[in-house]
Structure 1
């Protein structure tokens, strides 16, 4: 008796269509939730978001589990767009410093475009201090700082000497903290004549990362 031929089971077309429907519905809900948070503010409740989306709160819970799940899902979409913007910006840079400025500028632009959405996806729910927010958990910023640190490796080795390799490894993590903390403080600061615009703030952060704030550095000088 010859070997029995294995027959690949047919794909359940109904199951595939249902999965596509769920994915499309999920994207629609994230888009509607993002629009609602942009309009209502970062403290919008699940009930407010569902009402603005023209559906019910149980629908959002069915797709995202809870508010933290919605924050994570929305954060992934925001971060994907932020990544694309950063890649486009960095691709045009010819030097490490230009690349760093382009990346920081793209980050600030995306955050400034909707402060409420940015705050919604980066703020942890009460009682979830052990978790990471969407940006931290994704590692998205880390990817770009690693790319920039590779560009800066040669001049950093020349400047730092024998200790360069160890210190270069610390730089991306330190840079992420600098950009996020300075950027979020700038974003939350009220408008005033003394508040730098987005391009100026990106320039300051870039200088702090590259040369510090010591007297005589560009970052320590007032713009003309």
Structure 2
């Protein structure tokens, strides 16, 4: 009976703990946006409205907090990319919309992007609940390409490997652009969209498909 009472009291506080964790994650995001990817714990605590010593009562150290922030941000970016990939139209329009969404987010949140880049390889592969931004983009794009390959009666096996390479190319170009801004965003979007299509077109050719960037796709 006493054990059940203790369990009940502990469970009763779960919503409060989740709210506090989310508040600290949100505060960390604000601190990173304002102070850069190496924002200090004290700055995070200030935005969260808690003493500095309270930050790690809800996380098992700095790395755990960094991973939680990365997962939260990657999920938000994934939602934006998923919406862009839901664009109806030709392959050219869908690719352009997704690349534009990716670059627009980076332009809006440069320090968050730099933070994600720092932690891109820190996420345990076995932990499906966390992901870096590139993994999110690759997963969304792979799912879409596999969907259309199935509708076209083609093998889907090469899609994941090819899309991971596509996202790596887009991400590397975006990282360069963020630091140098050598061309307008619209120009980079067009250039990357063309490059992505050429890779997809080549993949289709190896699968025996004749693809057209402006063809009408099935819903």
TM-score normalised by structure 1 residue count: 0.71
Equivalent position of 1:178 in the other structure:
169
Equivalent position of 1:64 in the other structure:
59
Q: Distance in 1 between matches of 2:73 and 2:162?
A: 25
Of the three residues 16, 21, 26, the one matched with 2:21 is 26
For residue 24 of structure 1, report the CA deviation from its aligned partner: 0.6
For 1:64, what is the secondary structure of its paired residue? coil
Q: What whole-Å deviation, never above 9, does each CA across 1:163-208 have from its counterpart, x for those lacking one?
A: x87754531121121111111111122x4xx4222x3322211111
User: Quick one: structure 1 residues 169 and 147, their matched pair in 2 at CA, closer, same or farther if it must change by over 3 Å?
Assistant: closer
Equivalent position of 1:92 in the other structure:
87
For 1:92, what is the secondary structure of its paired residue? coil
Equivalent position of 1:144 in the other structure:
140
For residue 123 of structure 1, report the CA deviation from its aligned partner: 0.6
- The answer to whether the Cα contact below 8 Å between 1:75 and 1:122 also exists between their aligned partners in 2 is no
For 1:178, what is the secondary structure of its paired residue? helix
Q: What whole-Å deviation, never above 9, does each CA across 1:52-107 have from its counterpart, x for those lacking one?
A: 43323322222222222222111111112112212222212322232222222212
For 1:22, what is the secondary structure of its paired residue? helix
For 2:173, what is the secondary structure of its paired residue? helix
User: Quick one: structure 1 residues 27 and 184, their matched pair in 2 at CA, closer, same or farther if it must change by over 3 Å?
Assistant: same
Q: Distance in 1 between matches of 2:40 and 2:172?
A: 26
CA RMSD of superposed structures (Å) = 3.3
Unaligned runs of 5+ in 1: 1-8, 159-163, 213-224
Unaligned runs of 5+ in 2: 125-129, 200-219
For residue 115 of structure 1, report the CA deviation from its aligned partner: 0.9
TM-score normalised by structure 2 residue count: 0.72
User: Quick one: structure 1 residues 121 and 130, their matched pair in 2 at CA, closer, same or farther if it must change by over 3 Å?
Assistant: closer
For 1:51, what is the secondary structure of its paired residue? helix
Q: What whole-Å deviation, never above 9, does each CA across 1:26-46 have from its counterpart, x for those lacking one?
A: 111111111111111222122
